[in-house]
Amino acid sequence: METPYMLEDGYRIDLPKLAVGTHHFRTTLEAPFFALFPDSPVHKGNVQVDLRVQRSPTQADIRLTLEGVMVLECDRCFRAYEYALQTEQRLIYDQDSSLKELDDSQTEVFHLPAGTRFIELKQDLYDFVVLALPYRRLPADCPGPACPPQVLRILEQTDDEPTTDAPAATEDDALLDPRWSALAALQKKLPHSDN
């Protein structure tokens, strides 16, 4: 079994140091990594990144596996919870402009100028983590006992019990706009159904 190497400066590959063949790298993404992105929606996590680089004279074909745990904030009750992250990605860095786009829509192809020394992966790693996160951040146990009590009280309110923050809408509110009055008049002309 080959021993993996750490990435150069944590998040980049030094191309001239790579001989033609397969190379294996590892790195870990933790809070200091996410702090490099001040507007990041995530700040804590522990993601292991495994990279397999197939180096040819004009190309670096990188296959990435990212696995770990991210600490997210629940969209409903705002408490922190752990989310298991796992994604696989592929990047191709090419110095030969004859390579066209691949049929695989999951593969990004980047063209590098001749003489490029480093492949910077910092932004790509960040993007892969953020894109692997759920759009709606809601743990399975929400609402539940781990939620703050004040949030549970709000979530337990029903439509029959309006909150004190907003007054209940009345029929008079709908009549403020003449377009609603016209619609109300049309509705009165329609036969009523019990749907």
pTM, two decimal places: 0.69
Q: Which two tokens stand for residue 174?
A: 């709908």
**pLDDT-derived band of residue 154, with 50, 70 and 90 as boundaries?**
confident
**pLDDT-derived band of residue 52, with 50, 70 and 90 as boundaries?**
very high
Rounded Cα–Cα distance for residues 116 and 171 (Å): 69
Rounded Cα–Cα distance for residues 5 and 17 (Å): 12
CA distances from 106 to 37, 50, 110, 167 (A): 24, 18, 13, 49
**pLDDT-derived band of residue 146, with 50, 70 and 90 as boundaries?**
confident
Which of 5-19, 42-56, 113-127 is least confident? 5-19
Q: Which two tokens stand for residue 8?
A: 């150069």
DSSP for 12-39 reads EEEGGGPPSEEEEEEEEE-HHHHHTSTT
Model confidence pLDDT, tens digit, residues 81-131:
899 999 999 999 887 765 555 555 556 788 888 778 888 899 999 999 999
Rounded Cα–Cα distance for residues 164 and 143 (Å): 21
pLDDT value, residue 194: 53
Letter string b/e over residues 153-179, b meaning 16 or more CB atoms within 10 A of that residue's CB: eeeeeeeeeeeeeeeeeeeeeeeeeee
